[in-house]
Structure 1
Amino acid sequence: MIYTKRSRWVGRSAWWWGAGTVVGAAALGVLLSATLVACGGRPGQSGNPDRLAEAPTASAVPAGTGLGGAEPSPGGTPDAPAGGDGAAGGDPQGGAGDPADPPSSPPEVEPSAEDCVSYDPADLTVEAVGDAWRMRSGSHLMKVFDTKVDAEDGVKVARNWTLMCFIGRGNDRADRHRYIFTYWRQPSGLPLGPAPALDCVHYDPTELRIHGPDGSGWGLRAGGGVPLLFLDTAPDAERARLVAAGHRQLCVIGHGNDRPDPARYLMQHWRG
């Protein structure tokens, strides 16, 4: 009897303990749900621990920052990257291509003013000066040459004209003679004398192009990107283009000399 009564008591206690546990768990669940609602948690948002944090939206990007971190232009559009439309990188004929070739100069560039000196073509002489030779007209020094033969060829050209003109004579570069070029104007009317030795580059005047600037200044090129001259400024390049457009050959006296500053001993003239 005692054992039987004890067994029934123990069974009732276990049943009540189990029922109390279930009721307590349910109450705890209700309390937890109420707490989440009070904190604003909703399924599918940051209150759900099973959802990964979302990436920041565009509104999270700090104000004043453009694409790639570039500062936007005043209109709110990021500045175009260097090398875009119109940037350096055009091919010799003006199209995009070889990055070594800068773009053509704008057509509105005004040519530099003509820089010419007059002389008497009937009074040209050649004289030695140190280890070089120079061409004179009366008391006026006109040009220095590497050899006597070069100086005499210079006279053969100069006697046909009355104006010796320069492009780039006012440049202040360290190698300034490289950017000074000569051409001739106003025929003298003297009888044609012996022709000088010709060392010329032939080109099509309709295909002349100006390119630059780059580290060497502005370049005057012929068809196919053949370089003719390097000029100090865009106006000088435009002046050279205008002179070259009236001819088909650019000739040089003194080419190939081995002086430390070889350009000083060169004299250019256009033909054809």
Structure 2
Amino acid sequence: MSRGEGRPPLRLGFVEEAPDELDWPGPRRAARVPARLGPELTLPAGEGLDLLAAAIFDGERGQARLDPLLERFTAEVGALAPDDADFELLWVARTDWALCEAQAPDARFEGDSWGRRALRGEIPGLALDPDQRPRFAAAMASVVGLFEVYPGEPSWIRDRLSGVVLRLLDSVGPWPRRDPDEPAALWEMRLIPDLAGGGVRMARPPLDYPIDLRPTLEDAFVRRFEANSWPALQDLRRARLRYSRAGGRTPISRMLRWR
């Protein structure tokens, strides 16, 4: 049996009311459930990401490929610490970025990442398992962004940076009662196209961002086609990391504007 067979539908999001066994201080209120799926860092649609990253970045040669990209991530986002909230998911997101989005230090053209070089057979001494090639190709077709989530049957998501709207094939919820014209959540997600299903599936459990970041993103939306569009996803990741470390005491919109 493959890893994905026999799984229940993916259930993420919010619960309507705090469970009885939780001892909430003050009046009982709706409980926010973090956007997580058990202890797993990889969903079935994203297993190719792990396999490809292991092939490229393992060993002494692999570490030499990875180290300059980790230094770049630290400069753009910040150094990750084991006591950071969501450390494991942040660590995985950083590796996915190094594999898929980050250009190799000697890039010859835009998008010349280590993952794409591996698929083209351009890494000396690296031979990918041909039986896993469909998974590798799916991994490199993945997209990442910050999405508004509109749950339903089906659920729809809107990328706050590009404006692209996609059908999310994973089941998400349950959610509290809300305005159906407003998003229920703001999630960073890595997605893999499912052409047969007519939508996308999550490759990783999502990272949740404060929903009150939306007005700032709406104001900046007109800049998405500028040469130096702002904010980029790395800017948002840096703001989220600072916001989390500050315990949410400073609005994330202010963290986003700090360089």
The structure whose Rg is larger is: 1
Compare the two structures and name the one with the higher helix fraction.
2
Tell me which of the two structures has the higher relative contact order, counting C-alpha pairs closer than 8 angstroms and 6 or more residues apart: 2
TM-score (norm 2): 0.24
TM-score (norm 1): 0.23
